[in-house]
Amino acid sequence: MRALIWDGPNAMHVDDAPDPGDPGPDELILRPEAVGICGSEVEGYLGHMGNRIPPLVMGHEFAGTVVAAGSEARELDGARVAVNPLSGCGECRLCRSGFSNLCKDRVLVGVHVPGAFADFVRVRAVDARVLPDGVSARVGALMEPLANGVHAVRLAPGGVESAVVLGAGTIGLVTLQAALLEGILHVAVVEPQDERRARAAALGAHAVYGTPEEARDAGEPDLVLDAVGAQATRALGLELLGPGGTMVCIGLAADDTTLGFHDVIRSQHRIQGSYAYTMPDFDQAHEWLVSGQASLGDDLTAVRPLHDGPEQFARLAGGPPPPEFKVFLAP
Convert the pLDDT of each residue in 139-176 to its tens digit.
999 999 999 999 999 999 999 999 999 999 999 999 99
Alpha-carbon span 238 to 215, nearest angstrom: 12
Alpha-carbon span 327 to 323, nearest angstrom: 10
Residue type (1 letter), 146? L
The 8-class DSSP code of residue 56 comes to B
The pLDDT value recorded for residue 151 is: 98
Is CATH 3.30.450.70 correct for 147-273? no
Segment 178-228, tens digit of pLDDT = 999 999 999 999 999 999 999 999 999 999 999 999 999 999 999 999 999
The pLDDT value recorded for residue 206 is: 98
Report, as an integer, the average pLDDT of 244-272.
96
**Direct distance between the N- and C-terminal alpha carbons of the chain, in angstroms, rounded to an integer:** 10
Alpha-carbon span 209 to 191, nearest angstrom: 6
Please state the pTM of the whole predicted model: 0.95
Q: What are phi and psi of 248, to 5 degrees?
A: -100, 125
Dihedral sign from CA coordinates of 20, 277, 329, 228: negative
Give the burial class of 252: count Cβ atoms within 10 A of its Cβ; 0-12 exposed, 13-18 middle, 19 or more buried: middle
Question: How confident is residue 298, by pLDDT bands cut at 50, 70 and 90?
Answer: low
Range list for CATH 3.90.180.10 in the chain:
2-142+296-330
Segment 105-136, tens digit of pLDDT = 999 999 999 999 999 999 999 999 999 999 99
Q: What percent of the chain has pLDDT over 70?
A: 98
Written as one string, the DSSP assignment of 114-162 is --SSBS-EEEEGGGEEEPPTT--HHHHHTHHHHHHHHHHHHTSPTT--E
The pLDDT value recorded for residue 296 is: 82
Question: How confident is residue 302, by pLDDT bands cut at 50, 70 and 90?
Answer: confident
Average pLDDT taken over every residue of the chain: 95
Return all residues near 254 (Cβ < 8 A) that are at least 6 apart.
229, 230, 231
Segment 52-109, tens digit of pLDDT = 999 999 999 999 999 999 999 999 999 999 999 999 999 999 999 999 999 999 999 9
Is pLDDT at 300 greater than 70 in this prediction?
A: no
Looking at domain 2-142+296-330, its CATH architecture is: Alpha-Beta Complex (3.90)
Report, as an integer, the average pLDDT of 41-45.
94
